[in-house]
C-alpha cells in the first residue's frame, strides 16, 4: 500500500523531493525554535471547550447581571476576546464531544486497523506536543526539520480520531440494534448477559447522563444567583494575570459571563452526546428507534463542530473575484513584461493576489520558497515575514538604490495611500485608492551582455553586484567558461533581445548582435529549466546569482527556455503505473472466485 501511495502521488512527491533541500525551510530553524511552536498541555482543554481562550469571530458575550447577550468590550479596544494562546486558525482542533466519546468506544472495539490507528494517534500527539520524541525525529529523519510547526501533527491525529470514532460508531450501532434482546439469553446471538452486568451497564448509562445534567442545573442556578460566579472570576483574575492581558477581560463580570456561556454550551452538547452513547447501556428503547438514534447521532456530529467553528469560516460573495480594482486595471493596461512590488509597512495587494489578475509579482506566499531567491531579496532588505512563508516588499528608502532591486525588472511600486516615496527615480503615476509609482530607470527583463566576470559562489556574486554595481552591459556568471570572460569588442551596430512569447513554462526570445555574448533572462533559475539556441540544447548559466542566461554566438538567433523537469515526467510515469495497478486490483476483485464457481 505504501508503494502504491508513492506511485499515485509521484507527480507531486518527486518534484518536491528535488527541491526540498533548496528551500528556505532547509536548516532554517533550530530545534528550540521549532518546539516553541508545539502545543501545550492547556490546548487539551480547547479540544473539549473550543472558545476557552477566546474566539476572534464572536463579538457578543453573555452578561450574568442583565441575563442577556451584550457586545464584547475587551482590553485594547477589541470587540473579541483573545488571550493566553492562539486557539483558532491552525491551532483549532475541536471535533465535537460525540466523536471523542465514540473514539473512546473505538479504542476497545474490534477492528482490523484498530492498533494501527491507536499507534498513529499516540505518535501524532507526542509529536504535536513537542515531547522528547520530537528531537529523535528532528535529527534522525531526513526532511523532518522542514516541518517548522509541530502542531501540524494534529492533522494525522485528527484522521486517527475520526477513524476510531467511526469504528466506535459501528460498534455502538450494532449494540443499539440488538436492543433488549441482549438481556438474559439471546437466542439470536447466542450470548448470555447476567442480570448484574445489565444493572451495572444501566448505572454507567445513568451516570453519563447525570453528570452534564448536574452541570446544566448548576449553571441555571448561577443565572438566578450570579454572586458565586463573580467571586470565582475575581479569584481567577488575581491568580491568572494573562486573563486581563492582550484582548482580555476588563473586569470579573465579563470573565464570569464568558465562562458561563462556554460551560453552558459544553453541558448541553455533553448531555446530547452522553444520551446517545448511553443508549446501548440503558436498553430501554424499541428496535425501530435505532434508526432515529442513528440519525440524531449524525446530526449531532455535524452540529457540534459547526456551532464552534462556523463563524470562523468566513463567507463572502464570490462576485468580488470578478471585480477588478482601478489600480489593477491601470497595471493591466500597461503592455510588456514587468513586475510589481510593494513599498511601506502597510500591506497593499497581498502577495499571491496579483496572480489572479495576471500580474507578475516579486513577492509571494508559499511554503516552498527557494532559499537563493529569499537570500537575494534579503540582501536588498531583510524580509520580516519570511518565517511565515512570505516575501512581502520593502520599507527602507535605501533599498530603492540597490542594484539588486533594479535587476528584478520592477516597473511599479504599490504604496498605501497614507505613505509616499520621495526618490528621483520613482514618479507617481496613479493615486486612486492606492498609490502607484513608476520606475524611471527600469531594467529590462531580458538583455544581452558582452563583458562577463566569473565568480565561484552565490555569495560572491551578490557581494560583487552590491559593491561594483554591474549593469546590463556587464554582469557576473557563476563558474563562467573562459571563452565568456575574454574581452570582446563592443558591437558597433544596434543589437537587442526581444521577448516573442512569455508563458509559465516557456519563454522564447530573439537575439541579434555582431559579436558573441550572453543572453540574460531575469527569471529565477531552478531545476527543470532547459535552454535551446536555434532549436539545439544549450547550457544554462547562473547569472547575477539567481537568473538564467545562455551563451549565443554573433548573429541573429532564437533562444528558448522551457520548463521540462525530469522529476515531473518520472512522477507521471509512476502515476500511470499506479493507476494500472489499481485497475488490475479492481479487475481481479471482480472476477468470480473459485468458491462462488463451486457453489454455482
Domain extent listing, the chain = 1-27+574-600, 37-43+94-179, 184-282, 320-439, 446-564
**Which stretches of the chain score pLDDT less than 70?**
27, 87, 89-91, 177-197, 283-288, 469-474, 486-495, 593-600
CA distance 28 to 371: 9
Residue 196 pLDDT: 52
CA dihedral 390, 414, 380, 522 (to 10 degrees): 90
C-alpha angle 56/60/61, rounded to 5°? 105
β-strand pairing of 506-513 with 496-502: antiparallel
DSSP-assigned letter for residue 21: G
> For residue 384, what pLDDT is reported?
87
Q: Which string of b and e fits 303-328 if b means at least 16 CB within 10 Å?
A: ebbeebbeeeeeeeeeeeeeeeeebb
Question: What local confidence, expressed as pLDDT, does residue 54 receive?
Answer: 86
pLDDT at 118: 96
Task: Quote the pLDDT of residue 93.
Answer: 83
What is residue 166's three-state secondary structure? Answer: helix
Q: How far is it, in rounded angstroms, from Cα 150 to Cα 40?
A: 11
Q: Is the pTM of this model over 0.75?
A: yes
What gap in Å lies between CA 543 and CA 589, rounded to an integer?
A: 56
- pLDDT recorded at residue 188: 39
Tell me how far apart the alpha carbons of residues 431 and 452 are, in angstroms, rounded to a whole number. 41
Closest-CA residue to 426 (of 418, 434, 435): 435
Q: How far is CA 37 from the centre of its chain?
A: 15
Beta bridge partners of 452: 475
What pLDDT is stored for residue 570 in this prediction?
95
Cβ atoms of 333 and 407 within 8 Å: the answer is no
Burial classification of residue 235, based on how many CB atoms lie within 10 Å of its CB (0-12 exposed, 13-18 middle, 19 or more buried) = exposed
State how far the alpha carbon of 299 is from the alpha carbons of 265, 292, 342, in Å: 16, 11, 48
- Give the C-alpha separation, 224 to 227, whole Å: 9
- Contact (CB, 8 A) for 437 and 413: yes
Closest CA to 259 of 238, 240, 236, 242: 236
Measure the CA–CA gap between 560 and 187, rounded to whole angstroms: 80
Angle at 83 between CA 80 and CA 84, to 5 degrees: 160
The pLDDT assigned to 415 comes to 96
Instruction: Identify whether the C-beta of residue 559 lies closer than 8 Å to the C-beta of residue 533.
Output: yes
Looking at residue 487, its pLDDT comes to 63
Amino acid at each position: 500500500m505504501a508503494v502504491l501511495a508513492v506511485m499515485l502521488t509521484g507527480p507531486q512527491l518527486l518534484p518536491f523531493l528535488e527541491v526540498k533541500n533548496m528551500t528556505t525551510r532547509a536548516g532554517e530553524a533550530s530545534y528550540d525554535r521549532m518546539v516553541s511552536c508545539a502545543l501545550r498541555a492547556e490546548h487539551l482543554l480547547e479540544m473539549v471547550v473550543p472558545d476557552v481562550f477566546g474566539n476572534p469571530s464572536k463579538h457578543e458575550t453573555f452578561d450574568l447581571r442583565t441575563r442577556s447577550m451584550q457586545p464584547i468590550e475587551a482590553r485594547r479596544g477589541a470587540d473579541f476576546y483573545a488571550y493566553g494562546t492562539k486557539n483558532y486558525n491552525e491551532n483549532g482542533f475541536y471535533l465535537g464531544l460525540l466523536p471523542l466519546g465514540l473514539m473512546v468506544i473505538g479504542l476497545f472495539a474490534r477492528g482490523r486497523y484498530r492498533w494501527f490507528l491507536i499507534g498513529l494517534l499516540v505518535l501524532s500527539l507526542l509529536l504535536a506536543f513537542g515531547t522528547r520524541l520530537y528531537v529523535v525525529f528532528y535529527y534522525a529523519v531526513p526532511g523532518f526539520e522542514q516541518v517548522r510547526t509541530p502542531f501540524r501533527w494534529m492533522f494525522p491525529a485528527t484522521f486517527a480520531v475520526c477513524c476510531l470514532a467511526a469504528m466506535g460508531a459501528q460498534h455502538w450501532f450494532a449494540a443499539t440494534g440488538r436492543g433488549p434482546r441482549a438481556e438474559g439469553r439471546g437466542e439470536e446471538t447466542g450470548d448470555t448477559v447476567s442480570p448484574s452486568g445489565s444493572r451495572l451497564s444501566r448505572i454507567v448509562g445513568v451516570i453519563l447522563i447525570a453528570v452534564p445534567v448536574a452541570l446544566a442545573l448548576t449553571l441555571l442556578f448561577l443565572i438566578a444567583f450570579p454572586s458565586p460566579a463573580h467571586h470565582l472570576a475575581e479569584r481567577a483574575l488575581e491568580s491568572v494575570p494573562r486573563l486581563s492581558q492582550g484582548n482580555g477581560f476588563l473586569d470579573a463580570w465579563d470573565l464570569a459571563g464568558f465562562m458561563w456561556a462556554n460551560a453552558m454550551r459544553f453541558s448541553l452538547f455533553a448531555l446530547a452526546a452522553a444520551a446517545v452513547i448511553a443508549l446501548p447501556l440503558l436498553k430501554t428503547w424499541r428496535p425501530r428507534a435505532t434508526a432515529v438514534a442513528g440519525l440524531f447521532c449524525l446530526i449531532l456530529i455535524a452540529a457540534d463542530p459547526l456551532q464552534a467553528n462556523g463563524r470562523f469560516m468566513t463567507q463572502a460573495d464570490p462576485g468580488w473575484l470578478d471585480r477588478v480594482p482601478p489600480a489593477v486595471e491601470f497595471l493591466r493596461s500597461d503592455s510588456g513584461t514587468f513586475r510589481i512590488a510593494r513599498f511601506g509597512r502597510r500591506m497593499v495587494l497581498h502577495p499571491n493576489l496579483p496572480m489572479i489578475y495576471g500580474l507578475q509579482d516579486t513577492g509571494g506566499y508559499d511554503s516552498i520558497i527557494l532559499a537563493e531567491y529569499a537570500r537575494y531579496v534579503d540582501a536588498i532588505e531583510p524580509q520580516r515575514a519570511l518565517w511565515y512563508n512570505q516575501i512581502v516588499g520593502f520599507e527602507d528608502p535605501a533599498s530603492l538604490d540597490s542594484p539588486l532591486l533594479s535587476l528584478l525588472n520592477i516597473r511599479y511600486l504599490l504604496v498605501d495611500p497614507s505613505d509616499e516615496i520621495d526618490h528621483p527615480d520613482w514618479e507617481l503615476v496613479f493615486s486612486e485608492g492606492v498609490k502607484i509609482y513608476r520606475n524611471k530607470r527600469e531594467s529590462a527583463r531580458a538583455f544581452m551582455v558582452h563583458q562577463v566576470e566569473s565568480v565561484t559562489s552565490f555569495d560572491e556574486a551578490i557581494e560583487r553586484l552590491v559593491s561594483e554595481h554591474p549593469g546590463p552591459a556587464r554582469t557576473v556568471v557563476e563558474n563562467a567558461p573562459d571563452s565568456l570572460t575574454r574581452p570582446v569588442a563592443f558591437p558597433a551596430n544596434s543589437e537587442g533581445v526581444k521577448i516573442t512569447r512569455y508563458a509559465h513554462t516557456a519563454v522564447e526570445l530573439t537575439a541579434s548582435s555582431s559579436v558573441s555574448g550572453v543572453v540574460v533572462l531575469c527569471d529565477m533559475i531552478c531545476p527543470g529549466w532547459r535552454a535551446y539556441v536555434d532549436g539545439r540544447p544549450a547550457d544554462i548559466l547562473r547569472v547575477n546569482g539567481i537568473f538564467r542566461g545562455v551563451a549565443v554566438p554573433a548573429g541573429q538567433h532564437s533562444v528558448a527556455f522551457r520548463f521540462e523537469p525530469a522529476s515531473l515526467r518520472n512522477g507521471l510515469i509512476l502515476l500511470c503505473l499506479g493507476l494500472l495497478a489499481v485497475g488490475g486490483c479492481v479487475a481481479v476483485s471482480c472476477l468470480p472466485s473459485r468458491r462462488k464457481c463451486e457453489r454455482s
